[in-house]
Structure 1
C-alpha cells in the first residue's frame, strides 16, 4: 500500500512539473557486459534547469525495480541481465541500456555508449580467480590482432559504417590445462 501511495504522489508531481529533459543511464564500471558475482552501479544522470527535489525511478524491461538516483547491484547474477531505464520527477524515461551478466570464462566488453568519431577499447576479460595467457581478436572472421599478451583492442575513429561483430579468444587455465574460450560483441554507433 505504501508503495502505491508513493507512486501516486510521484506521478502527480510529474504531471505538475512536466518533463524538462531526458536522463542518461551511466554504468560503473562502464562496460555493457560483466561477470556474474561482480558489482555494478547504475546512475541516473539528468541535467535540470529547475531547482526541484527529484525522485528517481528505475525500470527493468518496463517494470519498476528501484527508487533512488543510483541502483547498486553488489553481486550481479544472470537474472539481472536486461534493459534498464531511469526516470525522474522532472523528466521522461531515459533510453534503455542493456546489461549483460555472464557466467562464462571469457567476456568481450565494449563501452556502454559509442559515438561516431570515438576512439574505443574492447576488453577481452577472463573470469576473476583464473589465470589467463594469450588473446586473439577478430573482426567478423578476420584476425585483426594476433595471439599476444594484450587483452584490449584499440579501435580508432569509429564511424557508423564500421560497425561489425568483434570476437576474442583467450587461453584460460582451469582443470589443470589452458583452454581457449571465445566471446563476441556487436554494438551500434550513435551519430554526433
Structure 2
C-alpha cells in the first residue's frame, strides 16, 4: 500500500497528522475548572506562559476581540450570557494559546464536567450545579435516561476509570425548595485506544482501493478495445451513399 505513494507525499501525510509541539504556546485555565457555568457565577481565566523580565503583561481576546485586561488572570465576577464564547491569551514569550470555550447558561440546575471527551481509564467528574449555590437535596444523576447515582445531599458523581459504556447523554435532577428541577442533557464521549487518528486514517479501506484499481483497469481496457475496433472498422469498411461495402483486409 505504501508503494502507491511517492516518499514526498507520504512525508506530507505524516507531518500533517502529527502536529508540531509548541512548548512556548500559552495555555488558558479555568478556575473553577468548569467550562459551563450559570448566570451570576464567578469565573477566573488564568494564562500560563513565559514572560519577559521587563514585561509581565498578558494579552487577552474574547471571540477574537482584544480585551483591555493585561493581568495574568481575567476575572468574571458576575457572569452574564454575553460572556460566553472563546477566550485566548498570549504572554511576552509565548505563542497565542488555543481557544477555551466558556458557556454561560440561565437555569436552576446545570450539569458540569471537567472534561466532555475522555479516554478509557481516565476519571469522570460530574457536578450538579445550582444557581447562586441554592441548596439542592435528593440529587440524582442519569445516563441515557436511566438513574446512575443518588445523593440525599448534593454531591459530585465520580467515576474513577472511564469505560466505553460510560459514553452517553447525562443530566441531573434535584429538589430546590418545593420544586423538582432538572438540568439539560449533555453528551460525554469516552474514547478507546482505536479512536485516535493515525496516518492510516488518510487512506481509504482496502476494499475501496481494490475496487478503484479494478474499475480503472476496466476503463483502460474498454477504451483500448473501443479505439481498436474503430480502427479495424475504418480499415475494412467503405461508406458510400449511406451503404456499406466490404473489402478484404490485408
TM-score (norm 1): 0.73
In structure 2, the partner of 1:185 is 186
Residue 51 of structure 1: how far off its partner (Å): 5.3
Query: Which consecutive residues of structure 1, in runs of 5 or more, have no partner in the other structure?
Result: 1-18
Misfit runs of 4+, over 6 Å: 189-192
Q: Which one has a larger percent helix, Structure 1 or Structure 2?
A: 2
CA deviations 1:123-164 (Å, max 9, x no partner) are 002222633221111222232224643431112223688543
Stretches of structure 2 that go unaligned for 5 or more consecutive residues are 1-21, 197-250
Which structure has the larger Rg over C-alpha atoms? 2
Q: 2:113 maps to what in 1?
A: 110
- Retained in 2: the 8 A contact 1:137–1:166? yes
Secondary structure of 2:184's aligned partner: strand
What is the number of equivalent residue pairs in this alignment? 170
CA shift in 2, pair 1:72/1:188, >3 Å: farther
CA RMSD of aligned residues (A): 3.1
Distance 1:163-1:68 versus aligned 2 partners, 3 A rule: farther
Matched, 1:128 2:132: yes
In the other structure, the counterpart of 1:11 is none
TM-score (norm 2): 0.58
Number of the residue aligned with 1:12: none
1:26 is aligned, of 17, 25, 29, to 29
> Which has a greater percent of strand?
1
1:45-60 superposed matches below 5 A: 45-46=48-49, 48=50, 53-60=55-62
User: Is the CA contact (8 Å cut-off) linking 1:169 and 1:183 kept in structure 2?
Assistant: no
Deviations 1:62-81 (A, max 9, x none): 11123221101111111111
